[in-house]
Structure 1
Amino acid sequence: MAEFDEAARRLTLKLVYYGPAASGKTTNLMRLHDMLQPELKGEIMTLETQNDRTLFFDLLPLGIRAPSGLLVKFKLFTVPGQVAHDGTRKAVLSRADGVVFVADSQRTQAANNGLSFENLADNAARVGLDFDRLPLVVQFNKRDLADILSEAEIAERWAGAPWPMTFASALTGPGVLETFSTLLDALYPRIADSYGLEREHGLSAAGFAAALRGAAT
């Protein structure tokens, strides 16, 4: 959950990229890291696990500073996709403020996407997150590959889903920043009242997302 340091005037939010193995979670974070201005980001750090890895970095967007002086800081994580590392997935997911579920657009991966999404819902419950209220964006990645589900097919399969959906090619960049911005749009209403972002700090929903877009190179 969000960490609020009143003395330092800093709000830290934890965002997690979740999904099946090789869906592009790490690529999303690496590409997003590349897109941001150098002074706004920390170094990428990697926690190696057998046959997989968890990648994370601190994102300190100085552009998202409220008129009151409050600084909003993000910590971004990926989870290992391999089933064998489910314990690590739960540990990384714990206390998340928002999640991007990275699905693989290839037709052959539809079943893996479904199983991984079920795993996300199960693990959210196990670590005490309210899945129905969790800010969540579903990204269909690898749009640059052949034999992928069309956007129309995806819309039909996910009809009725309450979460916003985005489409990306994380390897080359399209959709990466848009996905993150969409997550911020979903996140803002959940934290605005709790921390008085607009009322006490003058940071509106539009300013919250726009500041991130302005931080990109």
Structure 2
Amino acid sequence: MSFINYNAKEMHCKIVYYGPSLGGKTTNIQWIYQKTASDQKTKLVAIDSDVERTLFFDFLPMNVGDIRGYKTRFHLYSVPGQVVYDASRKLILKGIDGVIFVADSQIERMDENLEALKNLERNLEQQGYDIREIPMVMQYNKRDLPNAASLAELRMALNRYNAPEVEGCASEGKGVEESLKIVSKSILNVLKGGSNI
């Protein structure tokens, strides 16, 4: 969960982008990074493997306000989408404050979406987290593709926790900022002593 840097008077919160391989997690983070002012962010770091990258950076948004006199800094991480990198996924989930689950809307990717969601549930549970208590957004990415499943199908298959939903096309920036705003506000509400909804 969040940690406090007393010297800088900052609360640090961790948001993880989770989902199937090539679903749009990296594209989301790259879009946010490009739109964030350079004096408000750190360098974008990529850890490359043969198949996929893990990205992370942190930023200090200007418009979220202070909590008890502390500014809020968000750290954004993407997990590797491939199951063979499960140890990396578990490590990245440590200290999590919120999740943006990036589902690939293509009908033929539904099984991979379900597998990634079950993996998220299992990995959170193994670390003592209850997925129902963590701020989460379901982002249905790639809505622009002709083979995209209907929202009703995606909702029924993936959103058993009734998380806020956002339609997206991360390659065009659609739904990217909205997803981040929703999960950020939910995290801030939890930090202020409220619920995650």
TM-score, normalisation: structure 1: 0.83
CA distance in 2, matches of 1:67, 1:98: 17
Q: Partner of 2:172: helix, strand, or coil?
A: coil
Equivalent in the alignment of 1:180:
180
**1:38 Cα offset (Å):** 2.6
Equivalent in the alignment of 1:59:
59
Deviations 1:170-199 (A, max 9, x none): 0011110001111123222321129xxxxx
CA distance in 1, matches of 2:128, 2:67: 33
Tell me which amino acid in the other structure corresponds to 1:18: Y
8 Å contact kept, 2:114–2:157: no
- For 1:1-217, what aligned pairs fall within 5 Å after superposition? 1-66=1-66, 69-158=69-158, 161-193=161-193
**1:59 Cα offset (Å):** 1.2
Deviates more, 1:94-103 or 1:156-165: 156-165
Tell me which amino acid in the other structure corresponds to 1:115: E
Tell me which amino acid in the other structure corresponds to 1:5: N
CA distance in 2, matches of 1:37, 1:140: 26
Q: Partner of 2:20: helix, strand, or coil?
A: coil
**1:52 Cα offset (Å):** 1.4
**1:132 Cα offset (Å):** 2.0
RMSD of aligned residue pairs (Cα, Å)? 1.9
Structure 2: gaps (5+ residues): none
Tell me which amino acid in the other structure corresponds to 2:93: L
CA distance in 1, matches of 2:59, 2:87: 25
| Number of aligned residue pairs | 194
CA distance in 2, matches of 1:40, 1:74: 11
Q: Partner of 2:187: helix, strand, or coil?
A: helix
8 Å contact kept, 1:17–1:78: yes
Equivalent in the alignment of 1:214:
none
Q: Partner of 1:193: helix, strand, or coil?
A: coil
CA distance in 2, matches of 1:156, 1:97: 25
**1:43 Cα offset (Å):** 1.5
CA distance in 1, matches of 2:156, 2:119: 22
Deviates more, 1:69-78 or 1:109-118: 69-78
Instruction: Percent identity, please.
Output: 34
Q: Partner of 2:15: helix, strand, or coil?
A: strand
**1:156 Cα offset (Å):** 4.2
**Larger radius of gyration, structure 1 or 2?**
1
CA distance in 1, matches of 2:67, 2:24: 36
8 Å contact kept, 1:95–1:129: no
Q: Partner of 1:74: helix, strand, or coil?
A: strand
**1:155 Cα offset (Å):** 3.5
Change (3 A) 1:68 1:85: closer
TM-score, normalisation: structure 2: 0.91
Deviations 1:33-55 (A, max 9, x none): 12222322222110112311110
Structure 1: gaps (5+ residues): 195-217
Q: Partner of 1:92: helix, strand, or coil?
A: helix
**1:160 Cα offset (Å):** 5.3
CA distance in 1, matches of 2:58, 2:168: 22
8 Å contact kept, 2:103–2:141: yes
CA distance in 1, matches of 2:41, 2:177: 15
